[in-house]
Amino acid sequence: MQVYVHVILTFIFAGILSPFLGFYSLVVFLSGFVFDIDHYFYYILKKRDFSLVNSYLYCVQGSKVYEPHTGVLHIFHTWEMWVLFFILGVVIHVIFLYALIGLIFHMLLDWGYLFFNQDSIDIRVWSLIGWISRN
């Protein structure tokens, strides 16, 4: 899913939550798309290229630098990250719980995209433990 779609929909979602969460709605908003940074990390490791533009285009089907890829580990898109943010939110600071809300919203958008684009379903792994056991 395109980053701008995450930004727009998460902005609307955070706006709806704003009367209830106040400042923390900004955390929800930012975490709704910032966690896609793991796509950039993957691109750097895969291509040894630090170009943010190329890393973005690498993930966009139909672009000139796109390459099909499967079984990709995007660390922030794993269920273990949800557990970590939940634990950090309970033990350290509530801000991690609000980041988790944004991350869950982000993942719901991704799952919706993958549902309607079945050819993309195998691009990403959903568990760090599962990925480690396969590699």
* Residue 51: predicted pLDDT: 92
Q: Which domain holds residue 114?
A: 3-134
pLDDT for residue 135 is more than 80 = no
Residue type, 31: S
Give the number of domains in the chain.
1
Percent of the chain with pLDDT over 70: 93
Q: Look up the pTM and report it.
A: 0.84
pLDDT higher than threshold 60 for residue 120? no
Q: Which amino acid is at 39?
A: H
Q: Taking a C-beta distance cutoff of 8 angstroms, is the pair 55, 39 a contact?
A: yes
- Greatest CA separation found in the chain? 45
